[in-house]
Amino acid sequence: MATEISRPAGEASRPTRRAHIPVPSRPQQIADLLREEIVSGTLKAGQQLKQDELREDFGVSPGPVREALRVLENEGLVEHFPNRGVFVADISATDLIGVLIPVRLAIEMFAVTAAAPALRAGGIADLESLIEQMRVAAERNDRLTINELDVRFHETIVRASASSHALQLWRSVQPRIRAQIYALAPRHHAADDIVDEHQQIIDAIRDGDDEKLKAVITEHVQITPLRLLGTADLGAD
């Protein structure tokens, strides 16, 4: 049950959060809720996360809040500045171009190359199911659902590589990948464009042309985001 937290007049509003969380998983559930707010843009880059307010919102002691913020800091979603506090990290265009996109491309290029034989042998059905769900969401222009299916699509490929190292690496950057997907999705002219890009990946896997597959992955993971970054300011330095 959500609890409304009243604030003095003149203060900016903040999201209403669940105050009653099962005790054994409080830090993780707090981290999960804050992560969703950061990735979706509800909490903005540079916004301070005041521990006293979070403790009040969630109805917990300081310990679980500190643990949750440490989890998010390890994921690169928040930054801690001594004597200032904890702030939502700014994933700038420079960070995307210089670090996140190249790292994501390396992981997913390895994964799709390793996974392609297994996917052609029958695993591609899972990807096709996700595409169909994306098409239904696109008809409603439901960008939120498309974004989440987008993440699941790529995680399915990484899982199909049967590489625990690749999956571990992908998960380490997954929150920032999700933030990238949420930030870039509105720059697509139509929701169908996002679906079509993923259909091209499936088609390339099915065709069995590894060079074509690599080109499609490069287009989707690197070239398209760079093109979209050129049309909008995502906080470039």
Spatial separation of the C-alpha atoms in residues 191 and 54, rounded to whole Å:
35
Spatial separation of the C-alpha atoms in residues 90 and 110, rounded to whole Å:
28
Burial of 97 (0-12, 13-18, 19+ CB in 10 A): middle
Q: Which residues, including other chains, have CB under 8 Å from residue 65's CB and lie 6 or more apart? A: 27, 30, 51, 54, 55, 58
Bridge partners, 61 (sequence order):
none
Domain locations in the chain?
23-88, 93-229
Tell me whether the CATH fold assigned to 23-88 matches the one assigned to 93-229.
no
CATH of the domain spanning 93-229: 1.20.120.530
**Predicted pLDDT of residue 139:** 94
Using DSSP, state whether 119 is helix, strand or coil. Answer: helix
**Predicted pLDDT of residue 127:** 95
**Predicted pLDDT of residue 2:** 40
pLDDT in tens, the chain (237 residues): 444 434 344 445 566 555 555 444 789 999 999 998 998 888 988 999 999 999 999 999 999 999 999 999 998 899 999 989 999 998 877 888 888 899 999 999 999 999 999 999 888 999 999 999 999 999 999 988 998 999 999 999 999 999 999 999 999 888 888 888 888 777 777 889 899 999 999 999 999 889 999 999 999 999 988 888 774 444 444
Class of domain 23-88: mainly alpha
Spatial separation of the C-alpha atoms in residues 3 and 160, rounded to whole Å:
41
Spatial separation of the C-alpha atoms in residues 14 and 43, rounded to whole Å:
8
Q: Is 46 left (phi over 0), alpha (psi -120 to 50) or beta?
A: left
Bridge partners, 80 (sequence order):
86
**Predicted pLDDT of residue 14:** 62
Tokens representing residue 86 in the block: 């904890």
**Predicted pLDDT of residue 235:** 42
Q: Which residues, including other chains, have CB under 8 Å from residue 1's CB and lie 6 or more apart? A: 18, 19, 20
